[in-house]
């Protein structure tokens, strides 16, 4: 049997086949459009210039966003989420599940953890701390373990074979822009090629070596546009709902139970979380997402007695070579300030204050 490291190297090599395939198609489409269509087929100079200028804009943005998605390393939990050495030894020696949960809950008191596991029907396991046995750490909210990358990824959406990378907190914006510009690239190519496709098909242009490239270019562009359109529509829906692909299939579990809309803040704020609060960066593959990847604003803001005070904790997240200096609660407060303020104004009456004292929950409603 081959050594395990040789098998891993082979798997890593094979994982690049889809990326190589996509890049080969893109390189051929560039040649077919620029050389065979614009240079050899189109005779009008003005039409050539306009076609080439617009084409290169879409081509550049498509390549930029695609490779940003590929090279952006998935961000994993920091060392603060790893069990201390003493607790780790106790956890590994302990065989009782309840005792293991007590160890995890004790460590999680100082961490910004608000979601739980959803396995089982007993009170213990319906509110158990999410722990990764492979990475040996407590999972932050919306963090999941990727079996392909063999690591935990912050706000993991899915592992995409076409970019050979995990799509998560560090590159989700790039992935959505990749879908946008690939769609624009395909639809522009198909639209401008269509008239020459018809001319070649009806034999109104002489049979040259460009005929095959033009005909095939239209079919490929149309086919990829249809396939990418469905994927883009789905992720646009996810962005609007502030969900990941994993959360769309399995609702996150809070202390009050599963809630598929637990992270939904309204369409505008959901989009802002992914693309940032500066609109000038929305359509550029430049990191501008809000938050730190560890804490996220929710519709239910609970002061969990098991968590302790984590408002001033400063766990930092590095994305695109830059360390995010925001404290854990800043992204949450930044998006919820206006709503919380309006809720406080509504709750000034003595009756409302009396009702809210036993349960410290603030509801944030946005149509």
Residues acting as catalytic residues: 160
Q: What does the angle CA 91 – CA 96 – CA 100 come to, to the nearest 5 degrees? A: 35
Determine the distance from the C-alpha atom of residue 4 to the mean position of all C-alpha atoms in its chain, rounded to a whole number: 31
Q: Which residues contact 265 (CB under 8 A, 6 or more apart)?
A: 242, 273, 297, 299, 335, 336, 339, 364, 366
Is residue 187 classed exposed, middle or buried when 0-12, 13-18 and 19+ CB atoms within 10 A define those classes?
Answer: middle
Report the distance separating Cα 28 and Cα 213, nearest Å: 9
Sheet holding 257-258, edge to edge: 115-116, 253-254, 257-258
Report the distance separating Cα 238 and Cα 28, nearest Å: 32
DSSP for 284-347, please give it: SSS----S-SS----SEEE--TTT---TT----EEETTEEE---TTHHHHHHHHHHHHHHHHHT
Of 88, 75, 51, 54, nearest in space to 315 by CA: 75
281: which DSSP letter? G
Are the C-beta atoms of 70 and 165 separated by less than 8 Å? yes
Bridge partners, residue 258, by sequence: 253
Q: Which residues contact 56 (CB under 8 A, 6 or more apart)?
A: none
Of 170, 138, 127, nearest in space to 287 by CA: 170
Tell me the residue length of the chain: 367
């Amino acid at each position: 049997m081959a050594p395990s490291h040789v098998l891993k190297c082979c798997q890593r090599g094979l994982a690049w086949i889809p990326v190589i395939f996509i890049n080969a198609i893109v390189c051929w489409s560039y040649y077919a459009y620029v050389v065979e269509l614009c240079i050899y087929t189109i005779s009008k100079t003005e039409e050539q210039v306009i076609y080439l200028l617009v084409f290169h804009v879409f081509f550049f943005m498509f390549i930029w966003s695609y490779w940003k998605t590929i090279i952006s390393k998935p961000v994993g939990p920091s060392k603060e989420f790893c069990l201390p050495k003493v607790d780790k030894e106790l956890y590994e020696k302990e065989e009782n599940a309840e005792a293991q949960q007590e160890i995890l809950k004790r460590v999680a008191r100082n961490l910004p953890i608000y979601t739980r596991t959803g396995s089982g029907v007993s009170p213990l396991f319906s509110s158990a701390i999410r722990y990764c046995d492979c990475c040996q750490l407590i999972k932050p909210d919306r963090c999941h373990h990727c079996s392909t990358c063999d690591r935990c990824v912050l706000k993991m959406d899915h592992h995409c074979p076409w970019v050979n990378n995990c799509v998560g907190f560090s590159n989700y914006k790039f992935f959505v822009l990749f879908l946008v510009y690939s769609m624009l690239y395909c639809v522009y190519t198909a639209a401008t090629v269509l008239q020459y496709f018809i001319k070649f098909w009806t034999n109104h242009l002489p049979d040259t070596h460009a005929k095959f490239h033009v005909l095939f270019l239209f079919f490929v562009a149309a086919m990829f546009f249809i396939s990418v359109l469905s994927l883009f529509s789905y992720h646009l829906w996810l962005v609007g709902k502030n969900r990941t692909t994993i959360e769309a299939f399995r609702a996150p579990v809070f202390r009050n139970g599963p809630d598929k809309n637990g992270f939904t803040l309204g369409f505008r704020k959901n989009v802002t979380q992914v693309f940032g609060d500066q609109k000038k960066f929305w359509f550029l593959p430049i990191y501008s997402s809000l938050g730190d990847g560890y804490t996220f604003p929710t519709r239910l803001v609970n002061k969990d007695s098991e968590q302790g005070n984590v408002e001033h904790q400063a766990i930092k997240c590095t994305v695109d070579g830059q360390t995010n200096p925001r404290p854990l609660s800043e992204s949450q407060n930044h998006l919820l300030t206006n709503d919380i303020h309006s809720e406080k104004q509504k709750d000034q009456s003595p009756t409302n204050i009396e009702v809210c004292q036993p349960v410290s929950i603030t509801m944030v409603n946005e149509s």
